Protein backbone atom coordinates (compact mmCIF):
# COMPACT_ATOMS: atom_id res chain seq x y z
CA UNK A 1 0.00 0.00 0.00
CA UNK A 2 1.13 3.55 -0.70
CA UNK A 3 0.33 5.75 2.28
CA UNK A 4 0.83 9.51 2.15
CA UNK A 5 1.21 11.18 5.53
CA UNK A 6 1.01 14.95 5.85
CA UNK A 7 2.73 16.33 8.94
CA UNK A 8 5.79 14.74 10.54
CA UNK A 9 5.21 15.78 14.13
CA UNK A 10 4.89 13.38 17.03
CA UNK A 11 1.82 11.58 15.65
CA UNK A 12 2.75 11.72 11.97
CA UNK A 13 6.27 10.43 12.47
CA UNK A 14 5.11 7.69 14.85
CA UNK A 15 2.61 6.50 12.27
CA UNK A 16 5.18 6.75 9.48
CA UNK A 17 7.74 4.72 11.44
CA UNK A 18 5.18 2.10 12.37
CA UNK A 19 3.69 1.69 8.87
CA UNK A 20 7.14 1.63 7.32
CA UNK A 21 8.19 -1.13 9.72
CA UNK A 22 5.12 -3.11 8.63
CA UNK A 23 6.46 -2.95 5.10
CA UNK A 24 4.10 -0.28 3.66
CA UNK A 25 5.30 2.33 1.20
CA UNK A 26 5.23 5.65 3.04
CA UNK A 27 5.85 9.24 2.00
CA UNK A 28 5.80 11.99 4.66
CA UNK A 29 5.40 15.68 3.90
CA UNK A 30 6.34 18.44 6.32
CA UNK A 31 7.16 22.09 5.82
CA UNK A 32 9.90 22.01 8.46
CA UNK A 33 13.08 20.12 7.68
CA UNK A 34 13.76 19.48 11.38
CA UNK A 35 10.46 17.57 11.68
CA UNK A 36 12.04 14.67 9.79
CA UNK A 37 14.39 14.15 12.77
CA UNK A 38 11.39 12.44 14.39
CA UNK A 39 11.76 9.55 11.94
CA UNK A 40 13.72 6.56 13.21
CA UNK A 41 15.96 4.09 11.43
CA UNK A 42 12.87 1.90 10.99
CA UNK A 43 11.57 4.37 8.45
CA UNK A 44 12.46 3.36 4.91
CA UNK A 45 10.08 5.62 3.03
CA UNK A 46 10.53 9.06 1.47
CA UNK A 47 10.33 12.54 2.93
CA UNK A 48 9.18 15.60 1.05
CA UNK A 49 9.85 19.13 2.30
CA UNK A 50 7.07 21.58 1.52
CA UNK A 51 3.68 23.05 2.38
CA UNK A 52 1.04 20.45 1.59
CA UNK A 53 -1.65 23.10 1.17
CA UNK A 54 0.20 23.94 -2.04
CA UNK A 55 -1.26 21.81 -4.78
CA UNK A 56 2.11 21.36 -6.49
CA UNK A 57 3.56 19.67 -3.40
CA UNK A 58 0.74 17.13 -3.33
CA UNK A 59 1.33 16.45 -7.01
CA UNK A 60 5.03 16.03 -6.35
CA UNK A 61 4.16 13.46 -3.70
CA UNK A 62 2.20 11.57 -6.40
CA UNK A 63 -0.92 11.81 -4.29
CA UNK A 64 -2.99 10.42 -7.17
CA UNK A 65 -1.29 7.05 -6.65
CA UNK A 66 -1.91 6.95 -2.90
CA UNK A 67 -4.15 4.27 -1.41
CA UNK A 68 -4.48 6.18 1.84
CA UNK A 69 -3.92 9.83 2.75
CA UNK A 70 -3.57 10.82 6.41
CA UNK A 71 -3.49 14.50 7.43
CA UNK A 72 -1.83 14.78 10.84
CA UNK A 73 -0.66 18.40 11.04
CA UNK A 74 -1.39 20.38 14.19
CA UNK A 75 -3.70 22.69 12.27
CA UNK A 76 -7.28 21.42 11.95
CA UNK A 77 -8.07 23.58 8.95
CA UNK A 78 -4.97 22.45 7.07
CA UNK A 79 -5.96 18.84 7.71
CA UNK A 80 -9.50 19.50 6.56
CA UNK A 81 -8.36 21.18 3.35
CA UNK A 82 -5.85 18.46 2.47
CA UNK A 83 -8.38 15.72 3.21
CA UNK A 84 -10.92 17.39 0.94
CA UNK A 85 -8.43 17.83 -1.88
CA UNK A 86 -7.40 14.16 -1.57
CA UNK A 87 -10.99 12.99 -1.57
CA UNK A 88 -12.75 15.33 -3.97
CA UNK A 89 -10.02 16.17 -6.47
CA UNK A 90 -7.86 13.05 -6.48
CA UNK A 91 -10.62 10.59 -5.61
CA UNK A 92 -8.60 8.83 -2.89
CA UNK A 93 -11.00 6.40 -1.24
CA UNK A 94 -9.45 6.30 2.20
CA UNK A 95 -8.71 9.69 3.70
CA UNK A 96 -8.21 10.41 7.39
CA UNK A 97 -7.80 13.75 9.11
CA UNK A 98 -6.78 14.57 12.62
CA UNK A 99 -9.01 17.15 14.26
CA UNK A 100 -8.25 18.57 17.69
CA UNK A 101 -11.41 20.57 18.34
CA UNK A 102 -14.32 18.18 18.94
CA UNK A 103 -16.66 21.01 17.95
CA UNK A 104 -15.36 20.79 14.40
CA UNK A 105 -15.93 17.05 14.06
CA UNK A 106 -19.58 17.49 13.14
CA UNK A 107 -18.71 19.58 10.09
CA UNK A 108 -16.10 17.06 8.99
CA UNK A 109 -18.81 14.41 9.13
CA UNK A 110 -21.02 16.55 6.92
CA UNK A 111 -18.12 16.79 4.47
CA UNK A 112 -17.79 13.00 4.75
CA UNK A 113 -14.20 13.09 5.99
CA UNK A 114 -13.16 10.39 8.46
CA UNK A 115 -11.57 11.91 11.51
CA UNK A 116 -9.47 10.97 14.47
CA UNK A 117 -9.89 13.34 17.39
CA UNK A 118 -7.08 13.03 19.98
CA UNK A 119 -9.09 15.10 22.46
CA UNK A 120 -12.12 12.79 22.33
CA UNK A 121 -9.91 9.68 22.41
CA UNK A 122 -7.99 10.87 25.47
CA UNK A 123 -11.18 11.75 27.30
CA UNK A 124 -12.61 8.31 26.56
CA UNK A 125 -9.42 6.66 27.79
CA UNK A 126 -9.35 8.79 30.94
CA UNK A 127 -12.95 7.92 31.70
CA UNK A 128 -12.33 4.26 31.11
CA UNK A 129 -9.32 4.32 33.44
CA UNK A 130 -11.27 6.21 36.09
CA UNK A 131 -14.27 3.90 36.14
CA UNK A 132 -12.42 0.64 35.61
CA UNK A 133 -10.16 1.10 38.63
CA UNK B 1 -28.13 43.05 5.88
CA UNK B 2 -25.90 41.34 8.44
CA UNK B 3 -22.31 40.78 7.48
CA UNK B 4 -19.52 38.90 9.27
CA UNK B 5 -15.96 39.65 8.22
CA UNK B 6 -13.11 37.42 9.37
CA UNK B 7 -9.60 38.76 9.03
CA UNK B 8 -7.51 41.82 9.70
CA UNK B 9 -5.48 44.62 8.28
CA UNK B 10 -6.59 47.73 6.46
CA UNK B 11 -8.78 45.82 4.01
CA UNK B 12 -11.07 44.61 6.78
CA UNK B 13 -11.22 48.04 8.41
CA UNK B 14 -12.13 49.85 5.20
CA UNK B 15 -14.48 47.11 4.07
CA UNK B 16 -16.31 47.37 7.38
CA UNK B 17 -16.53 51.15 6.96
CA UNK B 18 -17.90 50.73 3.44
CA UNK B 19 -20.51 48.25 4.63
CA UNK B 20 -21.46 50.67 7.42
CA UNK B 21 -22.03 53.47 5.00
CA UNK B 22 -24.43 51.19 3.17
CA UNK B 23 -26.29 50.64 6.43
CA UNK B 24 -25.20 47.04 6.96
CA UNK B 25 -24.75 45.52 10.39
CA UNK B 26 -21.13 44.40 10.63
CA UNK B 27 -19.35 41.89 12.89
CA UNK B 28 -15.60 41.40 12.70
CA UNK B 29 -13.70 38.36 13.98
CA UNK B 30 -9.96 38.53 14.58
CA UNK B 31 -7.57 36.50 16.69
CA UNK B 32 -5.37 39.42 17.69
CA UNK B 33 -6.54 41.21 20.83
CA UNK B 34 -4.65 44.45 20.11
CA UNK B 35 -6.13 44.68 16.63
CA UNK B 36 -9.60 44.05 18.06
CA UNK B 37 -9.17 46.83 20.60
CA UNK B 38 -8.08 49.29 17.93
CA UNK B 39 -11.05 48.35 15.76
CA UNK B 40 -13.44 48.61 18.69
CA UNK B 41 -12.34 52.21 19.25
CA UNK B 42 -12.65 53.17 15.61
CA UNK B 43 -15.76 51.31 14.50
CA UNK B 44 -19.21 50.76 15.88
CA UNK B 45 -19.01 47.16 14.74
CA UNK B 46 -19.51 44.08 16.83
CA UNK B 47 -15.91 42.92 17.36
CA UNK B 48 -15.19 39.36 18.44
CA UNK B 49 -11.70 38.31 19.44
CA UNK B 50 -11.18 34.66 18.53
CA UNK B 51 -10.66 32.00 15.90
CA UNK B 52 -13.21 32.46 13.13
CA UNK B 53 -13.01 28.79 12.20
CA UNK B 54 -14.30 27.84 15.64
CA UNK B 55 -18.06 27.21 15.34
CA UNK B 56 -18.71 28.85 18.72
CA UNK B 57 -16.93 32.06 17.79
CA UNK B 58 -18.79 32.22 14.52
CA UNK B 59 -22.05 31.73 16.39
CA UNK B 60 -21.10 34.53 18.82
CA UNK B 61 -20.63 36.78 15.83
CA UNK B 62 -24.23 36.08 14.85
CA UNK B 63 -23.68 33.49 12.13
CA UNK B 64 -27.22 32.14 12.57
CA UNK B 65 -28.69 35.44 11.44
CA UNK B 66 -25.95 36.50 9.02
CA UNK B 67 -26.70 37.16 5.36
CA UNK B 68 -23.09 37.25 4.30
CA UNK B 69 -19.77 35.87 5.56
CA UNK B 70 -16.53 37.20 4.11
CA UNK B 71 -13.36 35.24 4.99
CA UNK B 72 -10.29 37.39 4.39
CA UNK B 73 -7.55 35.80 6.49
CA UNK B 74 -4.05 35.29 5.05
CA UNK B 75 -4.50 31.51 5.35
CA UNK B 76 -6.42 29.88 2.55
CA UNK B 77 -7.25 26.78 4.58
CA UNK B 78 -8.91 28.96 7.24
CA UNK B 79 -10.94 30.84 4.66
CA UNK B 80 -12.08 27.56 3.12
CA UNK B 81 -13.12 26.08 6.43
CA UNK B 82 -14.87 29.26 7.61
CA UNK B 83 -16.99 29.39 4.45
CA UNK B 84 -17.84 25.70 4.66
CA UNK B 85 -18.73 26.07 8.33
CA UNK B 86 -20.91 29.09 7.60
CA UNK B 87 -22.74 27.27 4.82
CA UNK B 88 -23.07 23.82 6.35
CA UNK B 89 -23.66 24.61 9.99
CA UNK B 90 -25.22 28.05 9.96
CA UNK B 91 -26.96 28.09 6.57
CA UNK B 92 -25.48 31.47 5.69
CA UNK B 93 -26.87 32.26 2.24
CA UNK B 94 -23.74 33.93 0.87
CA UNK B 95 -20.07 33.35 1.65
CA UNK B 96 -16.94 34.79 0.09
CA UNK B 97 -13.46 33.30 0.45
CA UNK B 98 -10.24 35.11 -0.30
CA UNK B 99 -7.56 32.92 -1.82
CA UNK B 100 -3.97 34.04 -1.44
CA UNK B 101 -2.53 31.24 -3.55
CA UNK B 102 -4.15 31.61 -7.00
CA UNK B 103 -4.02 27.83 -7.59
CA UNK B 104 -6.58 27.47 -4.84
CA UNK B 105 -9.14 29.36 -6.89
CA UNK B 106 -10.25 26.32 -8.89
CA UNK B 107 -9.66 23.98 -5.95
CA UNK B 108 -12.06 25.94 -3.77
CA UNK B 109 -14.60 26.03 -6.55
CA UNK B 110 -14.31 22.29 -6.93
CA UNK B 111 -14.84 21.91 -3.19
CA UNK B 112 -18.07 23.85 -3.42
CA UNK B 113 -17.02 27.36 -2.42
CA UNK B 114 -18.20 29.19 -5.49
CA UNK B 115 -17.50 32.74 -4.49
CA UNK B 116 -13.75 32.97 -4.52
CA UNK B 117 -11.79 36.21 -4.67
CA UNK B 118 -8.19 35.93 -5.78
CA UNK B 119 -6.42 39.26 -5.42
CA UNK B 120 -3.26 37.77 -6.89
CA UNK B 121 -5.12 36.78 -10.06
CA UNK B 122 -6.88 40.12 -10.36
CA UNK B 123 -3.71 42.18 -9.92
CA UNK B 124 -1.55 39.96 -12.10
CA UNK B 125 -4.08 39.90 -14.94
CA UNK B 126 -4.21 43.68 -14.88
CA UNK B 127 -0.44 43.89 -15.04
CA UNK B 128 -0.19 41.24 -17.73
CA UNK B 129 -2.58 43.08 -19.95
CA UNK B 130 -0.48 46.23 -19.58
CA UNK B 131 -3.48 48.20 -18.72
CA UNK B 132 -3.23 51.86 -17.80
CA UNK B 133 -4.82 51.62 -14.40
CA UNK B 134 -4.82 55.42 -13.99
CA UNK B 135 -7.58 55.84 -16.53
CA UNK B 136 -9.79 53.12 -15.14
CA UNK B 137 -11.91 53.52 -12.04
CA UNK B 138 -14.92 52.10 -10.27
CA UNK B 139 -14.09 48.51 -10.99
CA UNK B 140 -17.30 47.02 -9.73
CA UNK B 141 -17.83 43.31 -9.75
CA UNK B 142 -21.44 42.19 -10.13
CA UNK B 143 -22.77 38.71 -9.30
CA UNK B 144 -19.62 37.53 -7.54
CA UNK B 145 -17.42 38.93 -10.27
CA UNK B 146 -19.11 37.18 -13.19
CA UNK B 147 -19.68 40.62 -14.72
CA UNK B 148 -17.67 43.74 -14.08
CA UNK B 149 -18.58 47.36 -14.62
CA UNK B 150 -15.76 49.83 -15.07
CA UNK B 151 -15.35 53.46 -15.94
CA UNK B 152 -12.69 54.25 -18.53
CA UNK B 153 -11.62 57.80 -19.31
CA UNK B 154 -10.78 58.34 -22.98
CA UNK B 155 -7.54 60.32 -23.21
CA UNK B 156 -5.59 62.01 -26.03
CA UNK B 157 -3.65 58.86 -26.84
CA UNK B 158 -6.67 56.56 -27.01
CA UNK B 159 -6.83 54.84 -30.39
CA UNK B 160 -10.61 55.19 -30.43
CA UNK B 161 -10.77 59.00 -30.27
CA UNK B 162 -13.02 60.30 -33.02
CA UNK B 163 -14.26 56.85 -33.96
CA UNK B 164 -17.88 55.83 -34.09
CA UNK B 165 -18.80 52.96 -31.84
CA UNK B 166 -19.62 50.70 -34.77
CA UNK B 167 -16.00 51.11 -35.94
CA UNK B 168 -14.63 50.09 -32.56
CA UNK B 169 -13.78 46.39 -32.44
CA UNK B 170 -14.83 45.38 -28.95
CA UNK B 171 -14.49 41.77 -27.87
CA UNK B 172 -17.62 39.66 -27.72
CA UNK B 173 -19.49 39.68 -24.43
CA UNK B 174 -18.73 43.29 -23.69
CA UNK B 175 -20.73 46.46 -24.24
CA UNK B 176 -20.36 50.14 -23.56
CA UNK B 177 -23.40 50.93 -21.44
CA UNK B 178 -23.22 54.69 -21.39
CA UNK B 179 -20.91 57.62 -21.94
CA UNK B 180 -20.60 60.47 -19.49
CA UNK B 181 -19.66 63.56 -21.50
CA UNK B 182 -19.12 66.56 -19.21
CA UNK B 183 -22.47 66.87 -17.43
CA UNK B 184 -24.41 64.83 -19.93
CA UNK B 185 -25.13 61.13 -19.96
CA UNK B 186 -25.26 59.61 -23.43
CA UNK B 187 -26.74 56.19 -24.10
CA UNK B 188 -24.61 55.32 -27.10
CA UNK B 189 -25.65 53.92 -30.45
CA UNK B 190 -23.43 52.69 -33.27
CA UNK B 191 -23.14 56.23 -34.61
CA UNK B 192 -21.98 57.79 -31.33
CA UNK B 193 -18.50 59.22 -31.66
CA UNK B 194 -15.96 58.84 -28.84
CA UNK B 195 -14.32 62.07 -27.69
CA UNK B 196 -11.39 62.94 -25.47
CA UNK B 197 -12.55 63.21 -21.85
CA UNK B 198 -15.49 60.86 -22.30
CA UNK B 199 -16.07 58.59 -19.36
CA UNK B 200 -17.14 55.30 -20.83
CA UNK B 201 -19.01 52.80 -18.70
CA UNK B 202 -17.96 49.36 -19.91
CA UNK B 203 -19.81 46.20 -18.95
CA UNK B 204 -17.64 43.15 -19.53
CA UNK B 205 -16.95 39.59 -18.56
CA UNK B 206 -13.87 39.47 -16.29
CA UNK B 207 -11.95 37.40 -18.87
CA UNK B 208 -12.10 40.04 -21.55
CA UNK B 209 -12.01 43.11 -19.34
CA UNK B 210 -8.32 43.67 -20.09
CA UNK B 211 -8.97 43.37 -23.81
CA UNK B 212 -11.69 46.01 -23.60
CA UNK B 213 -9.28 48.35 -21.81
CA UNK B 214 -6.69 47.72 -24.52
CA UNK B 215 -9.17 48.58 -27.26
CA UNK B 216 -10.24 51.79 -25.55
CA UNK B 217 -6.86 52.97 -24.29
CA UNK B 218 -4.29 51.21 -26.45
CA UNK B 219 -2.17 48.34 -25.21
CA UNK B 220 0.95 50.39 -24.49
CA UNK B 221 -0.94 53.22 -22.89
CA UNK B 222 0.99 54.00 -19.75
CA UNK B 223 1.00 50.26 -19.11
Fold of the CATH domain B2-123: Rossmann fold (3.40.50)
Give the mean model confidence (pLDDT) for residues B1-11. Answer: 92
Give the mean model confidence (pLDDT) for residues B139-162. Answer: 80
Residues in B closer than 8 angstroms to A101, CB to CB, are 54
CB within 8 Å of chain B, chain A residues 29-48: none
CA distances A59 to A30, A54, A86, Å, are 14, 9, 11
pLDDT in tens, A57-103: 999 999 999 999 999 999 999 999 999 999 999 999 999 999 999 88
A89 contacts B107? CB cut-off 8 A: yes
Residues in B closer than 8 angstroms to A104, CB to CB, are 53-55, 85
Asked if B74 is an interface residue toward chain A (Cβ–Cβ < 8 A), one would say: no
Phi, psi (5° rounding) for residue B51? -90, 115
Residues in A closer than 8 angstroms to B99, CB to CB, are none
DSSP calls for chain A: -EEEEE--SHHHHHHHHHHHHTT-EEEEEES-GGGGGG--TT--SEEEES-TTSHHHHHHTTGGG-SEEEE--S-HHHHHHHHHIIIIIS--SEEEEE-S-HHHHHHHHHTT-EEE-HHHHHHHHHHHHHHH-
User: Which one of A55, A56, A88 has the shortest CB-CB distance to B111?
Assistant: A88
Residues in A closer than 8 angstroms to B81, CB to CB, are 76-77, 80-81, 107
If you measure CA to CA, which chain A residue comes closest to B89?
A107
Asked if B53 is an interface residue toward chain A (Cβ–Cβ < 8 A), one would say: yes
- Does residue B127 contact residue B182 with C-beta atoms inside 8 Å? no
CATH number belonging to the domain at B132-217, selected among 3.40.50.720, 3.30.70.1450, 1.20.120.430, 3.40.50.1970:
3.30.70.1450
ipTM of the complex: 0.85
* Structural domains of chain A in order of their starting residue, each with its CATH number: 2-132 (3.40.50.720)
User: Which one of B53, B88, B103 has the shortest CB-CB distance to A77?
Assistant: B53
**Site from A31, A53, A74, A101 to mutate, B interface, most B CB atoms within 10 angstroms:** A53
pLDDT, residue B129, reads: 55
Give the mean model confidence (pLDDT) for residues B210-215. Answer: 85
* Distance separating alpha carbons of residues A114 and B146, to the nearest angstrom: 35
Q: Do domains B2-123 and B132-217 have the same CATH topology?
A: no
Asked if A103 is an interface residue toward chain B (Cβ–Cβ < 8 A), one would say: yes
pLDDT in tens, B31-70: 999 999 999 999 988 999 999 999 999 999 999 999 999 9
Domain ranges of chain B: 2-123, 132-217
Q: What percent of chain A clears pLDDT 90, i.e. is strictly above it?
A: 88
pLDDT, residue A64, reads: 96
Asked if B137 is an interface residue toward chain A (Cβ–Cβ < 8 A), one would say: no
Query: Considering all CA atoms of chain B, what is the largest pairwise distance in Å, rounded to the nearest integer?
Result: 61
Q: How many CA atoms lie within 13 A of B17 on its CB side?
A: 9
Res. A9 pLDDT band, cuts 50 70 90? very high
Pairing between β-strand B46-49 and β-strand B116-118 as defined by DSSP bridges: unpaired
Amino acid sequence: MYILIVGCGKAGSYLANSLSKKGEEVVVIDKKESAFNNLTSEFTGFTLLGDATEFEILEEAKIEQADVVVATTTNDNVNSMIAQIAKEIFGISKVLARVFAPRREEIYRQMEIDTVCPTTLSVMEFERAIFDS
Amino acid sequence: MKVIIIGGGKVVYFLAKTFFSKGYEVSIINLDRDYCEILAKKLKANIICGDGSDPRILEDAGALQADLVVALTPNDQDNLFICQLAELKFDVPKTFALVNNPTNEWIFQKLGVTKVISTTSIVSSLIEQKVAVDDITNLLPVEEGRVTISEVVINNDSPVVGKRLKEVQLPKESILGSIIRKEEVVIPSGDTELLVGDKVIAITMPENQGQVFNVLLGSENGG
